Copies of this chain bind each other. A is one copy, B any other.
Amino acid sequence: MADLLSLSEAVQRFVNDGDTVALEGFTHLIPTAAGHELIRQGKRDLTLVRMTPDLVYDLLIGAGCAKKLIFSWGGNPGVGSLHRLRDAVERGWPQPLEIEEHSHADLANAYVAGASGLPFAVLRAYAGSDLPKVNPLLRSVTCPFTGEVLAAVPSVRPDVTVIHAQKADRKGNVLLWGILGVQKEAALAARRCIVTVEEIVDDLAAPMNACVLPSWAIRAVCEVPGGAHPSYAHGYYERDNRFYQAWDPIARERETFVAWVDDYIRGTRDYAEFQQKLAQANAAEAR
């Protein structure tokens, strides 16, 4: 059974330095609040897995939490580059970042294999692509019936997966809907799973075949309203496109980035205080 915990306590209890950590959410329900908490608690040497690293990993990489990144598309969607990711890869700041690069189909299948307790996934992929030349983990397997050679990729089995969802009930059963991404697979592939939610309710009122993660399959549920900002939570709030654009100049230079992290994340006690601070800054700017 999942415990209903504060995010701070959940991260303290379930995330260790050196862990392989997946924060998943495919443009929707990105667990930003959990990313902040990893920075506040100064987690180090993490191997970060995520199909689309996005702002949340730009932050973690720039803040020095990561030693390795496993990913399949690294950009600021609709805006441009992830400057902190590029700085780490290209110039080793704030520390060198090893990258292990896949395609979306590969990583999605790798999560499915992880959730299925299998050591590898099979897919039709990579013929003619240079990716296998730079990632020795992209191998092949031969069909014992047809002789066809297919791609074999290692399954993803994170130590910890963190996802954000719309609702949990008081027992810790979690419901998400809309763009589901690979969250369910990432949650089930992990040894430990933390779920942040918009709200905790008496009754999930889930449709019969909805995407529900039962309480006993996860470790902690944390109520963190707004925790997926600047991405969105279907039924709760929309994507903050302005913030994605605003991120570009913040992350472009090391100085502005460090100042922002010191101010907004290390300088706040928790996500609620961060939200307050951000709202104040936005209000001041609007004046």
Residues on A close to B: CB < 8 A? 117-120, 122-124, 137, 139-141, 143-146, 148, 150, 152, 154, 177-178, 180, 207-211, 234
CA separation between A141 and B146, bound complex, in Å? Answer: 13
**Cα distance A117–B154 in the bound complex, in angstroms:** 20
- Asked if A150 and B118 make an inter-chain contact with CB atoms under 8 angstroms apart, the answer reads yes
| Closest chain B residue to A206, Cβ basis | B207
Closest to A116 in B: B123
Nearest neighbor of A142 in chain B, beta-carbon distance = B141
Contact between B120 and A143 (Cβ–Cβ < 8 Å)? yes
Structural contact, B119 and A148, CB atoms closer than 8 A:
yes
A224–B18 alpha-carbon span in the complex (Å): 59
Known: A207-B207, A207-B210. A140 touches B150 (CB 8 A): no
User: A207–B177 contact, CB under 8 A?
Assistant: yes
Q: Chain A's interface: helix, strand, loop or mixed, by majority?
A: loop
17 CB < 8 A contacts A-B: A117-B124, A118-B122, A118-B150, A119-B143, A119-B145, A120-B143, A137-B145, A139-B144, A141-B141, A141-B144, A143-B152, A145-B152, A177-B209, A178-B208, A180-B209, A207-B207, A207-B209
Closest to A180 in B: B209
In the bound complex, how far is the Cα of B124 from the Cα of A161, in angstroms?
Answer: 24
Q: Compute how far the CA of A159 lies from the CA of B13 in the bound complex, rounded to whole angstroms.
A: 53
Residues of B near A148 (CB, < 8 A) are 119
* A178 to chain B: closest residue by CB: B208
Smallest distance from the beta carbon of A77 to chain B beta carbons, Å? 21
- Complex: chain B residue closest to A121, CB-CB: B122
B residues less than 8 Å from A209 (CB atoms): 177-178, 180, 207, 209-211
Residues of B contacting A208 in the complex (Cβ-Cβ under 8 angstroms)? 177-178, 234
Q: Which residues of B contact A117 (CB under 8 A)?
A: 124
Which chain B positions have C-beta within 8 A of A150? 118-119
